[in-house]
Structures are given as C-alpha cells and as structure tokens.
Amino acid sequence: MIPFNKPYLTGKETQYIEQSVSSGKISGNGQFTQKCQQFFEQKYGFKKCLLTTSCTDALEMAAILCNIQPEDEVIIPSYTFVSTALAFVRQGAKIIFADSQNNHPNIDAEQIESLITPKTKVIVPVHYAGMACDMDKIMSLAEKYNLLVVEDAAQAIDSYYKNKPLGSIGHLAAFSFHETKNIISGEGGMLTINDDRFIHRAEIIWEKGTNRAEFFRGEVNKYGWVDVGSSFLPSEIVAAFLWAQLENLDDIQKKRKEIWNNYYKGLKPLADKGYFQLPNIPEYATNNAHMFYLVCNSLENRSKLIAHLKENDILAVFHYLSLHNSEFYKNKHDGRILKNCVNFEDCLVRLPLFYELNKESVCNIINTIKI
C-alpha cells in the first residue's frame, strides 16, 4: 500500500533530542526553541515567533490576544479544519462562515464585506494547500472596518503572497508542524506576531499568564501571575526535532515540489478532457507543495476514484467536512447556502505526497488514475 503520508526524518532528529536531554534542559523555551524561533524571524521577517504545542494552541493564543468577547463575530471559511473555528468559539465568539471561491477552496474575499457587521472583530483567512488567499483585499477590509486579521497558515510554511511570506501579512498567524505537514515535529505549532502591540502580551499568555520570560531576560526582578494564559510551550525535545527539519527545509521543499509537478504534468491531459480539475494557483500566490488534490465532477466520481486507488494499494483521501453543516454548529449557522464549500467537501480528493515518494510510485498512481 502506498500510504497517503509518511513522516520524513532528516537523520539528525534523535541526535538533537539526545543533545537536548544531555543539556539538562528539556522543558520549554531552551536553546532549540530559541533556534527555531530565530530561524523564522530571520528567514521570513516575522516580528516575533513563539513555538506552541500545536497550531490549535497558536490559534487559541491569537483568539486571546484579539480580546474576543462573547458574541463578537469572527469570519472564517467553512471549508477548513475545526481548530480554525474552535479557538474563537472557546472565547465566546459567534462564527460567521464564508464560502470558498468557485475554483479554489480558499475563502472568497469578494464576499467578506457583505458579512461584516458592527459585531465583527476578526477575519481568519485559511491558506488552503499552502496557497495564499487574496490578502490585499482582506487587509484593506480590515483597515476599513478596524478589524484584526489572523492568518491560519497551518499548511503554508515557505509560501508567499506577492513576494510576502504567508504568516507575515496579518496581525497574527498560526503555523502547524503536525506530522502531515511539510516540516514536522510530530505535533507542534507556532504563533507569529506581526503587530508590535501584541508582542509583550503574547509572551505572557505563552507563559501561563506570568511575566516569566521577562524575568529570565533580567527585565524584572521577580515574576508572577499578571494575565490569562496557559501552558502553550512545547518541550525542548519537540523543538530539537523541529530544528533538524528546519535545517533541511530547502531540500524538503525541492523534493515535494518535484513530486507535485510530476503529478500535475501527468494528470493534465485527463483534466483537459474534463475528468476532474487540477489545483488552481492564483497569480499572486506561490505553491509550497503541501498537498496535491483533484476536484472530481461529483461525489459519486470521487468515491469511485478513491475505491479504485485503494483496490490498487494506493491510499487517497478526501478532506474537510464543511463546518457550517457540522453537528456542533449547524443550528448556529444563519442558513446561507455555501455551495462552493459543499462542492469541495463532496468532490476534492488528496493524493499521496511525502518526501520519500519516488518517481516510480508517482507514475504508478498517475497510471492507475488513467485506467
């Protein structure tokens, strides 16, 4: 069976973990945490980075920093992972779901303004498959209506919007290092802060509501409980694993893009005949090869394709169920029909894509689809 995903090890993960353990410092915010955070700040120009135990935690920190109050409204796409909404729901927000574009799972930026009310506080664009949303449109709306923007960049490491790194455009952003992502640490995430007014408080929330980070920098002579927060820091063991991955970022990205391009070239003749649609990359976006997906013409066609691939020992999978129709939130949704989200829910299928997927296997998958 060709799996959908296989975590890639660069070879130094256990070496750095052993180094971390030997140092006697394995709790959070040690040398490997700081190495990783500095890597992102220097490479992508993020003002401040804080590693977290997951992308969900990074989003929860963002929701706290946005000072969400009960009944504040937050606009998010319906076609996304539950964490995008859950982080704000936990703070009492009302979620206003937006539809996807008709040719891409990303939020339809043209409809956002019609969803804004006096209660709207935050817009959360999700960069699906690592491809950018229309951030100029979204940031201009945020400025016009005095809103905050939190980029859900879970899938978007090393991807760009008009030469700007994703995660550097909104006021805040959240990344994932889950084992299904390009760069992994098993579980893990990161909050990026691009607005100076949030940096100080972010450190406090990150450290369980204390000013511990300031204390260890020698900026205060004692630390105590000063705000809300939680234990959002990952251990040094997680950060050590992540550092080994970051050292090999360019190599990992190069290989993933080769696989993605081979899929695209091999499947384009079938797409041109109308059997399915290939990923659409907007002209303002780059492709970080996070995933390769097809959009079938119907739910029936997708089900047949997944079953056909499985019969040939290839594991392909569908993706999100639209959150506005979820058991938890459907009775809170305002009833608008989000037809594009539902179309991607029914018709999108993801093909295997991981570092060790060789060219022969990619050709096998393509040929199996052609049968």
pLDDT tens-digit series, residues 108-158: 999 999 999 999 999 999 999 999 999 999 999 999 999 999 999 999 999
What pLDDT is attached to residue 212?
Answer: 83
Q: What percent of the chain has pLDDT over 70?
A: 100
Going from the N-terminus, what domains does the chain have, and what CATH number goes with each?
Answer: 13-246 (3.40.640.10), 249-370 (3.90.1150.10)
Examine the pLDDT at 218 and tell me if it is beyond 90: no
**Long-range contacts, stretch 81-84, CB < 8 angstroms, 24+ apart:** 81/154, 81/320, 82/323, 82/326, 83/54, 83/55, 83/56, 83/59, 83/154, 84/59, 84/124, 84/126, 84/152, 84/323
Chain mean pLDDT for the chain: 96
Cα separation of 188 and 72, whole Å?
A: 28
pLDDT tens-digit series, residues 316-342: 999 999 999 999 999 999 999 999 999
DSSP symbols for 234-245: PPHHHHHHHHHH
Which tokens go with 208? Answer: 């369980």
Q: Mean pLDDT across the stretch 259-281?
A: 97
What pLDDT is attached to residue 214?
Answer: 80
pLDDT tens-digit series, residues 95-108: 999 999 999 999 99
Examine the pLDDT at 222 and tell me if it is beyond 80: no
The 3-state DSSP class for residue 94 equals: strand
Q: How far is CA 101 from the centre of its chain?
A: 18
Q: Mean pLDDT across the stretch 267-290?
A: 97
Examine the pLDDT at 71 and tell me if it is beyond 90: no
Examine the pLDDT at 182 and tell me if it is beyond 90: yes
What pLDDT is attached to residue 99?
Answer: 98
In 3-state terms, the chain is what percent helix, strand and coil (to 5)? 40, 15, 45
**Lowest mean pLDDT across 127-136, 146-155, 173-182, 207-216:** 207-216
Q: Mean pLDDT across the stretch 191-197?
A: 97
**Lowest mean pLDDT across 45-49, 228-232, 285-289, 352-356:** 228-232
Residue 301 CB neighbours (<10 A): 16
Question: Is the whole-model pTM more than 0.85?
Answer: yes
Examine the pLDDT at 217 and tell me if it is beyond 80: no
The backbone region for 244, taken as left when phi is positive above 0, alpha when psi lies in -120 to 50, beta otherwise, is: alpha
Q: What percent of the chain has pLDDT over 90?
A: 94
pLDDT tens-digit series, residues 3-23: 999 999 999 999 999 999 999
What pLDDT is attached to residue 367?
Answer: 97
Examine the pLDDT at 64 and tell me if it is beyond 80: yes
Question: Cα separations (Å) of 158 from 130, 256, 265?
Answer: 8, 12, 23
What pLDDT is attached to residue 167?
Answer: 98
